[in-house]
A and B are shown apart, each in its own frame.
Chain A
Amino acid sequence: MKLEIQNVSKTYRGNVEALRGFRLEVGPGVLGLLGPNGAGKSTLMRILATVTQPTAGRVVWNGTDIKRDPDSLRAVLGYLPQDFGIYPNLTAVEFLGYLAAVKGLDAASAGKRIGELLELVNLTDAARRPLGGFSGGMRQRVGIAQALLNDPQLLIVDEPTAGLDPEERVRFRNLLSELAGERIVILSTHIVSDVEAVATDIALIAYGQLVAHGAPEALLAGVTGKVWEVVVPSAELAELRNAHRVSNTAHRSDGVHARVVADVAPRPDARALEPSLEDAYLATLAAHRQRAAAEATA
């Protein structure tokens, strides 16, 4: 089972480049796709989900170009878009039943599957209510259920935890971990903690390009020994931000506890910390921006 993204570019009207020569090979497991807003994540998701086509390059699913034969992928695809709608007059069961029919599931399998999925996303009690009355989080859970209807080999979820309460978010993370056995799960988000919790592999995307790709440990290794905590008075925080990359701050009675990513200790009293994926993410993006700026200047 392999998904190959080969030199994919996408240019929208007005010459807006959303993706530029993006390359990646994905195998079974959870791939966390991280990137800032406007990085091209959703465009890549739509291309992988066959909703739109690349301007250049190709996507190959188990040896088949999905542009030539999109149904080869669609038959085993589960997709949760970032923005999606529902039919407000249908109940959750009817809506999932409709999509199950569209996906080609037979009645018996669909009925059983829908029951399990509604239980899985904690919507059994609301199963017979019209979707028009659902809250945003409940609709999102219906979206998660529909993505799993056909027992997909490739599951693409774009910002899946948006609108979910913390408990449901954890439930969904656990679900993704359990699902990622012999299938590929691509989780696109800008919430680093979601990726940290479930991803077996991480790809960083910025300005439509792949910035980094590897196991979480590999990304963390890049900032090991480079994360520090310093305590400064509030008045000195701006100066510290100007001089160093501050990834987080917390106001305490003894001053501001600042988390700093730097090659050497920013101050003599700085305390070394265990790096987090967020530190690695910010440091990698900053390094990429510096490289891009240097190349542009050259």
Chain B
Amino acid sequence: MLQGTLDLMVLQTVAAIGPMHGYAIAARLEQVSGGALRLNMGTLYPGLMRLEQRGWLRAAWGATETNRKARFYTITRAGRRQLAAEKADWERMTAIMHALIHGEA
């Protein structure tokens, strides 16, 4: 999976739902994709660390509903800006691809 694509998916998920821990993010993405997207820890957590390093996510230790210690990730203001930019890029690319594949017949 491309780094940029993973970033977009994680940011969108966290922005839409609110503070989540790593497992929840992976579970949510698996659910939304109908089982097609199964993120490995080795892909997910380095990705989360990278997003944190870039200042697009903020993380803090907290408790889950079952009172277990987990690290929750929240999107930052810079993260929202990045998300908006990535979404715009994605939409543009999709439109171009669509036009290429289907259009101008």
A binds B: no
The interface of chain B, by Cβ under 8 A from chain A, is: none
